[in-house]
Structure 1
Amino acid sequence: MTHPGEISRRQLIRRIGMTAFVAGPGAGLLSACATAGTGGEPAAAPSASIPVSADPKNPFGVDAKTPLEVVIFSGGYGDAYAKELHEELYKKAFPGVTIKHTATQQIGTQLRPRFVAGDAPDVLNNSGPESLDLAALAAEGHLADLAPLFDAPSIDDPAKKVRDTLTPAVVDNAKINGRDLVLNYTVSHRSLWYNAKLFQSKGWSLPTTWAEFTALGEEARREGILLFAYPGQKGPYYQLWNVLYTAAKIGGNQAIIDVDNLVDNAWNSEAMRQAITAWVEIQTKYGNKAYFGLDHTQTQIKQLQNEVLFYPTGSWVENEMAKDKPDNFEYAIAPIPDVTAADAMPYGAIQVGVGENFVVGAKGKNPQGGLAYLRLMLSKEGARGFTEKTQNLTVVNGAAEGVNLPAGLMSAARAQDKAGQNIITEARFEGWYKELFDYGSEQINVVMAGRITPEKFLANMQKKADDVKKDDAVTKQTRSQ
């Protein structure tokens, strides 16, 4: 399912070229896609890295006499944020500069021939159904190295590097074959969601420990409210995500990284065991098996009717249910409570996913200007303006302060700012190994319904992961963080 405002992991992987391809001699990126990781991803062709100077106002040595070309995918976000905001910031930084602005929904049709001809735009918002294969572009040296951007001084605080002002997922997901080549600009948040107005009316506080979580379950049950529910139909993977993120909360992000990398016995780790056991106990004590027959919309309606306290989903839910949301319901995000006293990640850690990618053309006429443009996008002014125009959060920490956002989105922004560097990583096997993810989405219902034990669930998942690992027909991929 694709949710409003969210770039799914599967979409993101396709966009950076992690799909098999056959390209004839001389075909280049006209017909090429690419495989990734250990399965034969084409090495990103080296391109000269633009040095960072000591001048915090112009670290890339931009010449204002050199025009800048910007191409924006005019989809759900439109292109006003670029034309009326980011490009104006660039003109202010480099007076007299000329900017060519193009908005299109035909990224591939319009841009592929230009890249082949060595006539790339300086900034490209590579999005939409015709988005270009970035791994193929990287393999042919068409993408500029973004490491200088991440290492440049921040516009808002030159004492900080740009990378230190962003959610960590940005740099984690910037890489193609180990090099920083892609900037993902927007974020979504997956965690537990609840009705802040209900909590206020009841005088309830968010539980920070598992003991407080179960105590609230007892109190809610006395009032006829379920502590927790997830959709058993068309959304059981919401709970699979929830278990994975809980495992990362307990054992650190390595628990998810090992699952993604098909590490031996990754599913049998202690963190995974504690996570699935804790959630099965919650379902057994405070859940309702009737929800296994409901889809995501039906379950979300139940929450809007205050029949469910906590629901595991992403920040798209507020927009998804906007037409059905009553006045007495206010979406807010709740971090996963501490499961043990020794959780690797503190209370307040949340999952943040990134998407909507931008690249700089290494063979464009002004790659220095392209890096400067992205740096302006990553200023608080540039990011705040984007949020105001699109009602979507960016990867820049603190940039949404003072913006009039929907309640749920504001809650997510505050939670992200509070989490700081304590961000739970995304599980990437959803896109890398669809067979494994789909199997997990089936098995999560089986274990949550009590038809198998948590130990059997983990054993089943490990066997399936082992089968995928042994299957030479499946392209293997790896991640380091």
Structure 2
Amino acid sequence: MKSTKPLSRRTFLKGSALLSAGMALAACGPSAAPQAPAAEGGAQAPAPAPATTPDLPFEVAPEAINPLGLEPGKPVEGVFFEGGYGRAYIDHAADIFRALHPENEMSVAGIQRVGEQLRPRFIAGNPPDVIDNSGAGNLDTAALVAEGQLADLAPLMNAPALDTPGKTFAETLFPGSQADGVYDGKQLVLNIAYTVYGIWNSSTLLEEKGWEYPTTWSGMLDLCETIKSAGMNPWTYQGKYPSYMVFGVLVPLIYKIGGLQAIIDIDNLEDGAWEKDEVVQAVTLMAELARNDYIMPGTEGLTHTEAQAEWLKGNAVFLPCGTWLENEMRDLTPEGFNMVVHPVPTVEGGKGSFEAIYASSGESYFVPSQAKNVVGGMEFLRCLLSKESAKFFAQNVSSIMPVIGGTEGIEVSSGMRSALDAVEAAGDEIFNYRFGTWYRDLSNEVRDRTGDLLTNRITPEEFIESVQKKADEVKADPDIKKYTRTS
């Protein structure tokens, strides 16, 4: 399973392509992948090694105890981004692993800025066995793929699921949820959290004020004016990380106006994709929030948790985020706040409905091809994305794993319920985007210019000019691998 291709220092250390100052989201959605389905192709799982019946609170079929052939006694090391989801779910999955494989030591470590800490280990050829590559300053997945640094997960995808008898691991995951982890027909990345993105508010506050969440963007601007007149700030966002407004507002507005094709054209680096009328209109509409002073003063200087704390204090009504928000701010959430998420309002005359929502599988995990225990890394992922683990995640993190049956029989929070309802209402209109994962330089340019736009340092026209120029540079750069999506 090990790659024989050496890691190029030039590629891996090149400029800012390896670091993201924004959140790594993922970007991973339920739309169909342009590549072959994840569970197809690649080698079959190796014959299982002998194993004893594990001490677990659920039954495990004999063929599901050790289908990957994990060598007894060989330690497994996991290093994980410790962010909005915390680390309790990681420790829980590690406990499942230890019960399943008591002869194998399983160590887990939570860190920040994964790229800065793990890049030297990749260069030295001794990366951990399994990594959660999320958060600010994460590793550039596309660069790692190009260098052959990620293991093909086909054996895992084809292996028996841990606690769903008769199903392979791949068959227990939401259809399409792992699409953007497939590169050139190989499943190289797994996304362990099904995230719904949108605009958050306190349902209690809106009910007390007699305000209704708007279904159109013009209605949003009207409500913002009403809120402002009442002496409140309509909006805040994670000021130091403007990418929240990219995935939370800008990309959804592009969809609401131009439909999925407008996003596909951007992802595929089509000539002039950012200059099209629907994109210009979306940028202009988002800029209205800043031009009309609807954004809380001081937002630009706030971290994500600081901005979210101000929102929880009632200092702003609306906030863009994903469904990790509830768990990230659990300790600061006032009783009775009842946070809920809504889709970005539609635009009159646009192609996307109000119900259309950006939802995807995020929190990207992978197994390095140079790891000392590749099989151990895959086996941890089999435990992590089990039904038992998914239920723990739903109950204790208030978020969803893309595991079929992962929320059966449990009580969910207000935010999680609103997210599940939103996905159900969206039906086939669940969309995502890929340029954030595929093209780091372009993603950073969009993020940075969004920050400038929302502080009135640049105009929408200057935003478009700058971002289109960067898209053209990325397209023309022969050293950047290009990808294509059709849906």
Q: TM-score, normalised by structure 1?
A: 0.67
Aligned residue identity for 2:258: G
Q: 2:68, 2:159 within 8 Å by CA — same for their partners in 1?
A: no
> In 2 relative to 1, CA 82–358 (structure 1 residues): closer, same or farther, beyond 3 Å?
farther
Measure the CA separation in 2 of the matches of 1:163 and 1:192.
32
Once the 2 structures are TM-superposed, how far is the Cα of residue 347 of structure 1 from its aligned partner? 0.9
Q: 2:235, 2:296 within 8 Å by CA — same for their partners in 1?
A: no
Query: CA RMSD of the aligned region, Å?
Result: 5.2
Once the 2 structures are TM-superposed, how far is the Cα of residue 445 of structure 1 from its aligned partner? 4.7
Once the 2 structures are TM-superposed, how far is the Cα of residue 265 of structure 1 from its aligned partner? 0.7
Q: 1:83, 1:101 within 8 Å by CA — same for their partners in 2?
A: no
What are the ranges of 5 or more consecutive residues in structure 2 without an aligned counterpart?
Answer: 18-39, 47-60, 111-116
* Residue number in structure 1 paired with 2:465: 459
Residues paired across the two proteins, number: 430
What is the percentage of aligned positions where both structures have the same residue? 24
* Residue number in structure 2 paired with 1:478: 483
Q: 1:249, 1:424 within 8 Å by CA — same for their partners in 2?
A: no
Measure the CA separation in 2 of the matches of 1:154 and 1:270.
49
1:440 aligns with 2:451: no
Per-residue CA deviation, residues 218-271 of structure 1 (Å, 9 max, x unaligned), is 54344333433435x523333233212321343344433433443211102233
* Residue number in structure 1 paired with 2:106: 102
Aligned residue identity for 1:80: D
- Secondary structure of 2:359's aligned partner: strand
Q: 1:175 aligns with which of 173, 182, 194?
A: 182
* Residue number in structure 2 paired with 1:13: none
Once the 2 structures are TM-superposed, how far is the Cα of residue 383 of structure 1 from its aligned partner? 1.4
Once the 2 structures are TM-superposed, how far is the Cα of residue 198 of structure 1 from its aligned partner? 0.7
Q: 2:203 aligns with which of 196, 199, 215?
A: 196
- Secondary structure of 1:309's aligned partner: coil
Aligned residue identity for 2:242: P
Once the 2 structures are TM-superposed, how far is the Cα of residue 309 of structure 1 from its aligned partner? 1.7
Aligned residue identity for 1:385: F
Q: 1:50 aligns with which of 44, 53, 78?
A: 44
Once the 2 structures are TM-superposed, how far is the Cα of residue 103 of structure 1 from its aligned partner? 1.3
> In 2 relative to 1, CA 362–388 (structure 1 residues): closer, same or farther, beyond 3 Å?
farther
Q: 2:149, 2:369 within 8 Å by CA — same for their partners in 1?
A: no
Measure the CA separation in 1 of the matches of 2:94 and 2:299.
47
* Residue number in structure 2 paired with 1:21: none
Measure the CA separation in 1 of the matches of 2:377 and 2:448.
45
Q: 2:234, 2:316 within 8 Å by CA — same for their partners in 1?
A: yes
Within a 5 Å distance, the mapping from 1:74-85 to structure 2 comes to 75=80, 76=82, 77=87, 80-85=91-96
> In 2 relative to 1, CA 470–145 (structure 1 residues): closer, same or farther, beyond 3 Å?
closer
> In 2 relative to 1, CA 27–439 (structure 1 residues): closer, same or farther, beyond 3 Å?
closer
Measure the CA separation in 1 of the matches of 2:118 and 2:293.
50
Once the 2 structures are TM-superposed, how far is the Cα of residue 308 of structure 1 from its aligned partner? 2.1
* Residue number in structure 2 paired with 1:313: 321
Measure the CA separation in 2 of the matches of 1:82 and 1:199.
38
What are the ranges of 5 or more consecutive residues in structure 1 without an aligned counterpart?
Answer: 1-16, 18-25, 40-45, 92-96
Once the 2 structures are TM-superposed, how far is the Cα of residue 406 of structure 1 from its aligned partner? 5.6
Aligned residue identity for 1:314: G
Q: 1:184, 1:357 within 8 Å by CA — same for their partners in 2?
A: yes
- Secondary structure of 2:104's aligned partner: strand
Q: 2:362 aligns with which of 321, 337, 354?
A: 354
Measure the CA separation in 2 of the matches of 1:230 and 1:294.
10
* Residue number in structure 2 paired with 1:206: 213
Aligned residue identity for 1:50: Q
Q: 2:130, 2:378 within 8 Å by CA — same for their partners in 1?
A: no
